[in-house]
Copies of this chain bind each other. A is one copy, B any other.
Amino acid sequence: MALINGEQYKASLAKLRPNIYKWGRLIEDVTTHPATRLHVESVSHSYDAAFTEEAGIFTRTSHLTGQKAHRWNTLMTSAEDVLANSQMKRAQFHRTGTCQGATCAGWTALNALWAVTYEADQEYGTAYHQRIKDYFALVEDNSYALAGALTDAKGNRALGVAQQPDADSYLHIVETRPDGIVVRGCKAQICGVAAAHEIICVPGSAHTEADKAAALAFAIPRDAAGITIVETRRPSDSRDEEEGWDSPKAGGITQAFLLFDDVFVPNERIFLCGEYPYTGVFLHYFTAIYRSAIGACVAGQGDVMIGAAINMIQANGLKQKTFQEKLSQMAINNEITYGIGLGAMFKGAQHPSGIWIPDPLLAHVNKTQVATLPYQTKVLAQEISGGIAETGCFPAYQDFQSPEYGDKLVRALTAGIDGKERAKAARLVEWLTVGGGIPGCMHGGGSPEGAKLVVRKSEPWDHFAEYAKRIANAGKLDA
């Protein structure tokens, strides 16, 4: 049963134990609650895409079974596979206006663990790699959606893991049993959990020997005993719960804080447990894959911003030509982040374990651009769209319904097109640029400062100095 459709996916999600909260209240059914249903719908689309003309992007032949599987249940073994990852991300934004969430980071983490366990086994004589294989089979067999949980709560940023006054600032082992381990702590700002069956827990930073207890990688069902999940707020998020058109309802994303309260993880689901040198290796592989692909996310969102701006131009009664220079600049921004990512894939190499590792330097250079160019694209979208879209400065849906003055508002908003349609178009720009659809491109998937650190470590500065010295002195009199 390698392929399921959206309905089957939602049915399977609904069977999970309710353990997700928002507004201080338990969410009984993630597939219908307004705080989570939009992301579930997004992911549901991805499942359905296995049966549409986009199947080539959203599925792949399984490396384990040779059967068609959802792409996020398979291994990336070539640059073309990472490219397909990118294409899926961009397509997802085109379709839902938001990111993949439950079919993204967990999948990437499993790929990175494929290589990490391969290496760790060689050093430690462990048998993690076979566990990953088995777990991959389980995932494919159940067509799981997988959240990836990297970021710990972290506590005081000036202190290391072991020095935190509150040990739960990092997810850590509290007990080792013959059949597994017990873990406690908090993973923060985790994307897409509400739409996932399972959570892949992995390190969020490179740990030292003192931090061994936090050097952990494992898979856990989202509703395992002891896990409490609290959804975070997004800008303008309460609009999702309103009726009306003040927030687009095509898709959505969720982020959550995961509270692990003495959660048991059985041995067969553990992929790292104390092998602290491999936390850094994991991040090295994870970020190389992840950051080569995230350019596609912001490119996809940027494409929608371009479309939204074009629609506002028409809605304002104006011509696209007048704004073409700005639209083209938006497109250039999109293609830069997409293109550098492709460059990273092309310049990558195959790991002995079989997965493809894009070039880390280009992947991290890409992160620096992903952290900045989308802001420019947003500013351009606002500039093109005009005042009503910049800050959503026009009345609420409810006011348009007023028998007293609603019609006048519609007339006041009518320009190139009917006022109600123009309002919807403007709300999309607002949502994309200062609302629930903003990308979180700066720190999402790691901050640009971290990426710059990789740049600093990767470039051969001394060689550059040597080239310059040679050129400066070539053929010169010394007199």
Query: Which of A195-203, A271-279, A336-344 contacts its partner?
Result: A336-344
Let me know if B257 and A308 touch, CB within 8 A.
no
Of residues 44 to 101 in A, which have CB atoms within 8 Å of B's CB atoms? Answer: 79, 83, 94-97
A22-B396 in contact (CB<8A): yes
B320 near A461 with CB under 8 A, answer yes
Q: How many residues of A contact B (CB 8 A)?
A: 157
In the complex, the answer to whether B434 meets A311 with C-beta atoms within 8 Å is no
- In the assembled complex, the Cα of A443 lies from the Cα of B235 at a distance in Å of 21
Interface residue? A239 (CB, 8 A)? yes
Nearest to A300 among chain B residues (CB) is B467
Chain B residues with Cβ below 8 Å from A404 are: 228
Q: Are B387 and A468 in contact (CB under 8 A)?
A: no
A261 to B393, CA, bound (A): 22
* Contact call B477/A245, Cβ cutoff below 8 A: yes
**Interface contact A311-B476, CB-CB below 8 Å:** no
Q: B327 contacts A461, CB within 8 Å?
A: yes
Bound complex: CA A387 to CA B449 (Å): 12
Q: Mark A317-349, 1 if CB is under 8 A from B, else 0.
A: 111100011011001100110111111111100
A95 partner residues in chain B, CB cutoff 8 A: 467, 470
A157 contacts B343, C-beta separation under 8 Å: no
Would B474 and A248 count as touching, CB distance under 8 A? yes
Stretch at the interface among A102-110, A130-138, A140-148, A425-433: A425-433
Determine whether A469 belongs to the interface, using a CB cutoff of 8 Å to chain B: yes
Min CB gap A445→B, angstroms:
10
CB of A310 within 8 A of chain B?
yes
Q: Which B residues are in CB contact (< 8 Å) with A331?
A: 455, 459
A398 B24 Cβ-Cβ under 8 A: yes
For residues 385 through 428 of chain A, which have their beta carbon under 8 Å from a beta carbon of chain B? 386-388, 390-402, 404-406, 408-409, 411-416, 420, 424-425, 427-428
A307 touches B (CB below 8 Å): yes
Residue contact B402 to A307, C-beta cutoff 8 Å: no
Judging by beta carbons under 8 Å apart, are A244 and B476 in contact?
yes
CB contacts (< 8 Å) of A339 on chain B: these are 339-340, 343-344, 347, 362, 365-366
Q: Does the CB pair A156–B188 fall under 8 Å?
A: no
